[in-house]
Amino acid sequence: MDDLITAQEAAQLLHMHVKRVQQLARDGKLPAVRYGRKWLFRRRDLTEARRANRSGDLELSTGIEISARNQLRVRVAEIRADGVMAEVVIRIGDQDLVAIITRSSAQRLGLAKGDEVLAVIKSTEVMVAKSVSGR
């Protein structure tokens, strides 16, 4: 019998969100079988698809494209996870920046201290301050 795995396990194997894996299965772009309300995948089929990347629909690229212009290559200095949230401290030069993300996102990304990551900063407002001497 083939090694059948769940959509969640397939998502981890393919480094995708579970909803994306389910959508690809529904669209027939990822080999899967429906069992009741669950999708099941043959591990061998997924590893072969990933290795060969024979389907452009899987979008298994190593890069990312994003519209945000404020992107910085940074290192993870610390991760503090508590409950459903995780505080990710990233170091930019000699400054620290804190990102609050879900704990499950931190786990899905496999974040660890020392990892190089891409910080994408999207904001509707940026303030600039400067100390004024002589006032």
At 52 the pLDDT is 66
* pLDDT class of 53 with cuts at 50, 70, 90: low
At 102 the pLDDT is 94
pTM: 0.49
Neighbours of 132 (CB within 10 A): 6
Q: How far apart are CA 46 and CA 25, in angstroms?
A: 11
Q: How far apart are CA 64 and CA 76, in angstroms?
A: 19
* pLDDT class of 101 with cuts at 50, 70, 90: very high
Residue 66 above 70 pLDDT? no
**Among the ranges given (8-17, 51-60, 89-98, 123-132), the one the predictor scored with the smallest mean pLDDT:** 51-60
Q: How far apart are CA 101 and CA 56, in angstroms?
A: 30
